[in-house]
Structure 1
Amino acid sequence: MTASSSSAAPTTSADLPALDTVHHAAGDPDREQPWAELGLKEDEYLRIKEILGRRPTSSELAMYSVMWSEHCSYKSSKVHLKQFGQIPQATKAGKMLAGIGENAGVIDVGQGYAVTFKIESHNHPSYVEPYQGAATGVGGIVRDILAMGARPVAVMDPLRFGPLDADDTHRVLPGIVAGVGGYGNCLGLPNIGGEAVFDETYLGNPLVNALCVGVLRHEDLHLAKASGEGNLVIMYGARTGGDGIGGASILASVEFDEDGPAKRPSVQVGDPFMEKLLIECTLELFAAGIVRGIQDFGAAGISCATSELAAAGDGGMHVHLERVPLRDSTLAPEEILMSESQERMMAVIAPEDEATFMEICAKWDVEAAVIGVVTEDKRLRVDWHGETVVDVDPRTVAHEGPVYERPFARPAWQDALQADVAEKLPRPVTADELHETVLALVASPNLCDKSWITDQYDRYVRGNTVLSQPADSGMIRVDESTNLGVAVATDANGRFAKLDPYAGAQLALSESYRNVATGGAIPLAISDCLNFGSPEDPDVMWQFAEACRGLKDACLELGVPVTGGNVSLYNQTGDLAILPTPVVATLGVIEDVTQRVPSTFQAEGETILLLGETREELSGSEWAHVVHGHLGGLPPKVDLAAEKALAELLHEARTLVSSAHDVSDGGLMQALAEPAMVSGIGVSVTLPGDAFVALFAESTARAVVTIAASEASRLVALAERHGVPVTELGTTGGSSYAVAFEGGSFEIPLDQLADAWRSTLRNALA
């Protein structure tokens, strides 16, 4: 490809069919238009006509339909998301430099550095076409980070699938994992963490959430706005094709039926090698100091980039659509406006910088074209071969879409669900029963080894990965001279959120907050990806409203702001909605990554300590799910003050302990088993009280740490100062998982335990 400031579309006005221009729209008010097929409601279409004072042209209708879609406009969720603005934007270690409303949030992490991170969904496209849906999900979030002026440095991928033995899981899982890995690996970005969770509600509606982290200096921050009359608007990157027309924006606004993915709008097609060139080209453009505004192309394509840039600026924009470089010369104007072709960016520059811009693009073999100019009249005008096909106030497209206060109410079945507690279920008592339960749980799909997935990802490319799978959090070195670093973890438990969505969202935040802390970092801020069923169902809308309220309240208490995120609705097949799944990503800072704390055992003969309090909390647990197929009761108690105290203790003790692992899914049983199986170092512990509760309860604000025996008293004193309970459990060493308790003991050879843990995905997906 070469840089060019001239039109790349080969069509001429003589080749074109009759256009639906603004002039025609004014004189032809009664023309029938396919507003319903484009996902608009009748009242929304009438509102567009009211805004324009006439019917929309077909190009305007295309723009409004994609920009007013659920995916782009947040029309069902805005009323609940606005409460995140009540959270103070300052943090203990700095401040937010950019937040909600920008392409991604930006946090000051000290030493003149800032980190930008965001998580988004690509659920529906990944069901239709697993490889490309997941791949372009990664590509899209990477461009969001790039658009803030940052170099992308790492990605993560929280995933949700149907049952492991289901045929459709075998269709979507390999393709999704290959897409995440293929795109990220080709970009040279390490994948440092995520999740893979299985539940029947995700059958037919997998969740593919993608996160990216980027690093920048404070002075390199860029925002998405088009300002300065006469400044040039340039598209650069891949050519525009027919792929993705009505893709993420339309797909994410409908629910699937039992007929599966056939006859769905086309999914975007990614080219990671083009994206790699685009990243390096964009970073050099930033370094040249010539970019006045920048916007990536994601859902809604040119419709989004032009309207959002113009709406955020101090004027308007005049675009000549025929100048857009095309892969398919037969595309109509409305198709060009809707196309979600990947690897494209839009920049605003001063006219005198055009030559420099084109030279840099040519150096990186990135095609570029001047397609418009910034105007002073606060209008977005789009021409097609001299005829005006769009003339709108860009704010009505980008920011003034419909806002729905969807009806919601506590479901009639919620009380009965919460009354059906797991604590009443039959439980193992004898040593043999506990032994068999441990083996069953470590081999279960949600607790088993995920290396079949993570081994397809490059975790160490770029050379700055400090922690990655299977560590509790991913950690990246930001500065090689000072060893400044950041840690990120993503978490959600849909079963907890089903039992109590308010507490479920707080528990997701608590776990990701705790996972960042176990690595030795200080949690600073969050991004969220809120995955729910249909907003037209009052039960689902209640779950969403409660989750937002819970997340806001938890952020206020923990002192972490919401920097931005994503909402994904209509995640259901027929009448079956997914478990409410509010995924929370927490970002933390660590001043010196050489002080990071690994999650696996480091030596034999060390003391094992449990930090935090264990309660008889089994509802929603992996034990109830795996052994009994049960979901009911109340989730574990949320104790944010205890989470904060534990995090502060773990940070202060980072040079004292040799390992730290959070206690969450699977309880203490899993928190002891994972570090033992990964390290090959056995454990010998004596459990206090009820052995079953001690092993399988999923009480929060807990972590297992190992420490040299000679230093244990220091940690106990430190924990006492922070008000964190401490229980000595035993020691590391040997070649087995040995558990003693009042009335008995059992021992599992580590090889047998690890084989059960490692064989599940390997055997299922072979």
Structure 2
Amino acid sequence: MLPAQDLAMLQRTLGRDLTDVEAACFENLWSEHCSYRSTKVLLKTLPTEGSEVLLGPGDDAAIVRFSETCALAVGMESHNHPSYVDPYDGAATGVGGIVRDVLSMGARPIALMDPLYFGPLESEKNRYLFEHVVAGIADYGNCIGVPVVRGELTFDPSYSGNPLVNVVCVGVVRPDRYITARVKKPGSSLVLVGSPTGRDGLGGASFASRDLAEDAEAADRPSVQVGDPYTEKLLIEAILAMAGTGKVLSCRDLGAAGLAGASSEMASTFGAVIHADRVHLRETGMVPREIMLAESQERMLVEVAPEDVGLMGAIAEKYDLAWSDIGEVVAEPRYIVRFRGETVADLPIDLLVGGAPLCGREARPYAAETPFSRPAAPVRDLALAVLAHPDVARKDWVYEQYDKEVQLRTVSFQHDAAVLRLEDKALVLSCGCNPRQIYLKPYEGTANAVVENASNLACLGADPLCIVDCLNFASPEDPEVAWQLEEAVRGLGDAARGMGIPVVGGNVSLYNESDEFGTAIKPTPSLGMLGRGEVREWTAPQSGEKLVLVGRTLPDFGGSVLDAVTGCGGPTPALADPAAVGVVRELVRDRRVTAATDLSRGGLIAALAKFAPRADVTLPGDPLAELFSETCGRFLVAVRDENALAGVEHRTIGTVGGDALVLRLEGGTVAITPEEMETALSATTRLMRY
């Protein structure tokens, strides 16, 4: 329902009462999900320009130059609330929506990433959500032939009542052939292509702008869309064929707020008249409000000259898709909806689109760090517990469900980043953040997420091209959450600016909290980063090679995996110096190191487990800091000859090879056998399979 203060303001502005269609349009388009009322001012502080940025924020997706003949379309979205109410369909339609955002730019989708955040897997409900979200993503992505090549999994109690499902999509288009989502000239026709419109997804945008109630699964189920990936696959080919004619003037995906959202935002440069009774429907008896606001999936709106409507219709029919000529662009800046000869909405288009009053939020800082309390358990037990934590353990159960090889571009997908072959170069992809550290220090934690993703790219010798973000937070009406949001955006902006990486687009998802569990999520500014480099597959170190640490280790345990399994507290990592990122990138490019990985979640013990599970390592400092600290901006590299690191500050810690991971520590030696390591690293997979 439209808030009382908004309704009163609109009645004063228009000098009359609103029709039910107008009220529904404002309820959805003025929602937090669509209007960014709490964040628009903050987002304007982010650096969005760069030498390779062809089109920045504000469209369905950004366009970034990859080469003279290839550009990348990239977008990031969330589908959080729907994925709690109906995890399979919520996650699947999240994939479908972000794919269509990229498609609307005239780009062919080539890759997906899925940073996901859930409550602890000891809970049967959380396992159910996790299982069905992954299945929804896998089934939809596999069916449409777009590989999920990268992801991240985070487990924390704060997500028990409100999991986060974020998805990044990347597409390719010629730099001179991309399409935008704003209409180009009055007199053009607006053609709706794709699935018939039904009642599913009604009120989805407003639903995504409030917290989840105890009865969410029953009460909000109609707000969750139901997807059809087979229709989406046909839609992808049809829209690309339409774009290939050169006659599509603009194009937009029907997502949040349905036809009302897509057509009004698309036509906001001029105006539009929409004939709701021309829309092809799946259900009988639908009224104008339902037709305009339903969020039925697999639908696109294209602007073409009137004489080209027939051509677009013929292409749609070739791919067995329904279509309707549902409106026209007009010069007068009004948004008009007609139904069977009656005008059911007539609004100033700039009031509907972009006219929502901004919300000033009180921000109140807090201090959440606690003093370090040394765990009493032996180092060996702590190491195995950290390796078994689902943030660190193997994700085979998830990876095995994704078709990563479809389209034949994937070079490698595990370890630090995904590598896709694109022309004669590598497109390198990374995603995620560390919500536990961001909760403790929102500014530093978010800035370090930028460094961490750039570090993943550096381990494969790639330069960052751009960042997309999904800012997932609880209610901004809580002053402490408002402060988290301000600090996170400031940290993102400062780090991106300092590293010269433009933030080209993204999404804001607020009110992620649950009455049922009485919890608000930890601040989760999830990032996606794209890079460019030479094609190389991540390789593991070979027996006899030296293991070397680059970067300084501090006793940073706050928000670490060790903290998650023991509650030890301690200092949170300070703002990382990104200088080491550039150093390691050059070492990899020059082949002065044979392999590289960054140190992040789980610290050195986690890096050793994936990098050199059989090695002899000597660590003379405090064993807890050496093994479990999560100081950002550090790397573990392998070299054949230490002289290759001349001029680089480093510390040699051991040699690859042997029958186990032998840790020579202050106070004694610990050996972890391959069988013990495998048991720990397989903990999450075993839990999900049985």
**Equivalent residue number for residue 362 of structure 2:** 407
1:514 and 2:451 aligned: no
1:556 and 2:494 aligned: no
**Equivalent residue number for residue 39 of structure 2:** 77
| Residues 687, 104 of structure 1: alpha-carbon distance in 2 compared, 3 angstrom cutoff | same
Secondary structure of residue in 2 paired with 1:308 = helix
State how far apart, in whole Å, the 1-side matches of 2:688 and 2:331 are: 61
Secondary structure of residue in 2 paired with 1:519 = coil
CA contact (8 A) 1:520 1:597 kept: no
1:665 and 2:589 aligned: no
State how far apart, in whole Å, the 2-side matches of 1:302 and 1:727 are: 59
CA contact (8 A) 1:245 1:265 kept: no
Cα shift at 1:98: 0.8
Cα shift at 1:705: 1.6
1:583 and 2:526 aligned: yes
State how far apart, in whole Å, the 2-side matches of 1:729 and 1:489 are: 27
What is the CA deviation profile of residues 474-515 of structure 1, one whole-angstrom value per residue up to 9, with x for unaligned ones?
Answer: 121121xxx222111112111111111111111211111111
- Identical-residue share of aligned pairs (%): 41
1:662-741 mapped onto 2 (5 Å cutoff) = 662-676=598-612, 682-707=614-639, 709-710=640-641, 712-714=642-644, 716-717=645-646, 720=647, 724-741=648-665
Structure index of larger Rg: 1
1:466-615 mapped onto 2 (5 Å cutoff) = 466-468=411-413, 470-479=414-423, 483-574=424-515, 575-590=518-533, 592-593=534-535, 596-598=536-538, 600-615=539-554
CA contact (8 A) 2:48 2:57 kept: no
Secondary structure of residue in 2 paired with 1:462 = helix
Q: Given the alignment, which residue of 101, 116, 130 partners 2:73?
A: 116
1:262 and 2:218 aligned: yes
Cα shift at 1:552: 1.0
Question: Aligned letter for 1:616?
Answer: P
**Equivalent residue number for residue 421 of structure 1:** 371
State how far apart, in whole Å, the 1-side matches of 2:364 and 2:318 are: 58
1:353-432 mapped onto 2 (5 Å cutoff) = 353-411=308-366, 414=367, 417-418=368-369, 420-422=370-372, 424-426=373-375
**Equivalent residue number for residue 9 of structure 1:** none
**Range moving further from structure 2, 511-520 or 284-293:** 511-520
Question: Aligned letter for 1:699?
Answer: T
Cα shift at 1:260: 4.8
Cα shift at 1:602: 4.5
**Range moving further from structure 2, 739-748 or 268-277:** 739-748
Cα shift at 1:733: 1.9
Question: Aligned letter for 2:600?
Answer: S
Cα shift at 1:202: 0.4
Cα shift at 1:196: 1.2
Q: Given the alignment, which residue of 150, 175, 187 partners 1:230?
A: 187
CA contact (8 A) 2:390 2:683 kept: no
Secondary structure of residue in 2 paired with 1:220 = coil
Cα shift at 1:259: 4.2
State how far apart, in whole Å, the 2-side matches of 1:353 and 1:258 are: 50
Cα shift at 1:688: 3.4
Cα shift at 1:229: 2.1
1:121-132 mapped onto 2 (5 Å cutoff) = 121-132=78-89
Cα shift at 1:554: 1.0
Question: Aligned letter for 2:27?
Answer: S
Greater than 4 Å deviation, 4+ residue runs: none
Cα shift at 1:643: 4.5
**Equivalent residue number for residue 387 of structure 2:** 442
| Residues 339, 755 of structure 1: alpha-carbon distance in 2 compared, 3 angstrom cutoff | same
What is the CA deviation profile of residues 184-223 of structure 1, one whole-angstrom value per residue up to 9, with x for unaligned ones?
Answer: 0101111111111111110110000011111111011110
Q: Given the alignment, which residue of 7, 21, 26 partners 1:59?
A: 21
Tell me the TM-score normalized by structure 2.
Answer: 0.97
Question: Aligned letter for 1:494?
Answer: P
Cα shift at 1:629: 2.9
CA contact (8 A) 1:646 1:701 kept: no
| Residues 178, 683 of structure 1: alpha-carbon distance in 2 compared, 3 angstrom cutoff | same
State how far apart, in whole Å, the 1-side matches of 2:105 and 2:48 are: 22
RMSD of equivalent CA atoms: 1.6
CA contact (8 A) 1:684 1:738 kept: yes
5+ residue gaps, structure 2 = none
Secondary structure of residue in 2 paired with 1:261 = helix
Q: Given the alignment, which residue of 671, 678, 683 partners 1:754?
A: 678
Question: Aligned letter for 1:579?
Answer: K
**Equivalent residue number for residue 149 of structure 2:** 192
Cα shift at 1:329: 1.7
Cα shift at 1:471: 1.8
CA contact (8 A) 1:215 1:478 kept: no
What is the CA deviation profile of residues 358-409 of structure 1, one whole-angstrom value per residue up to 9, with x for unaligned ones?
Answer: 2211211111111111111121211101111111122221211121011111
What is the CA deviation profile of residues 700-736 of structure 1, one whole-angstrom value per residue up to 9, with x for unaligned ones?
Answer: 11111223x24x312x12xx2xxx5211122222331
**Equivalent residue number for residue 30 of structure 1:** none
State how far apart, in whole Å, the 1-side matches of 2:221 and 2:351 are: 25
Q: How many residues align?
A: 687
Question: Aligned letter for 1:694?
Answer: E
CA contact (8 A) 1:132 1:268 kept: yes
State how far apart, in whole Å, the 2-side matches of 1:435 and 1:62 are: 59
| Residues 658, 644 of structure 1: alpha-carbon distance in 2 compared, 3 angstrom cutoff | closer
State how far apart, in whole Å, the 2-side matches of 1:701 and 1:286 are: 43
Question: Aligned letter for 1:612?
Answer: G
State how far apart, in whole Å, the 2-side matches of 1:519 and 1:643 are: 14
**Equivalent residue number for residue 13 of structure 1:** none
**Equivalent residue number for residue 28 of structure 1:** none
What is the CA deviation profile of residues 252-296 of structure 1, one whole-angstrom value per residue up to 9, with x for unaligned ones?
Answer: 111123445221152100001100110011111111111001000
Question: Aligned letter for 1:139?
Answer: G
What is the CA deviation profile of residues 325-374 of structure 1, one whole-angstrom value per residue up to 9, with x for unaligned ones?
Answer: 00012111001111000000000001222222122112111111111111
Question: Aligned letter for 1:695?
Answer: L
State how far apart, in whole Å, the 1-side matches of 2:227 and 2:505 are: 25
**Equivalent residue number for residue 640 of structure 1:** 577
**Equivalent residue number for residue 241 of structure 1:** 198
5+ residue gaps, structure 1 = 1-37
Question: Aligned letter for 1:756?
Answer: A
Cα shift at 1:50: 2.8
1:745 and 2:669 aligned: yes
What is the CA deviation profile of residues 715-765 of structure 1, one whole-angstrom value per residue up to 9, with x for unaligned ones?
Answer: x12xx2xxx521112222233111113442121111221122113332344
Cα shift at 1:88: 5.8
Secondary structure of residue in 2 paired with 1:245 = coil
Cα shift at 1:250: 2.0
What is the CA deviation profile of residues 46-77 of structure 1, one whole-angstrom value per residue up to 9, with x for unaligned ones?
Answer: 12223322111111111111111111111111
Question: Aligned letter for 1:406?
Answer: R
CA contact (8 A) 2:465 2:531 kept: yes
CA contact (8 A) 2:253 2:262 kept: yes
CA contact (8 A) 2:397 2:688 kept: no
Secondary structure of residue in 1 paired with 2:114 = strand
1:629 and 2:629 aligned: no
Q: Given the alignment, which residue of 5, 9, 12 partners 1:50?
A: 12
Secondary structure of residue in 1 paired with 2:52 = strand
CA contact (8 A) 1:317 1:373 kept: yes
1:134 and 2:78 aligned: no
Cα shift at 1:577: 1.0
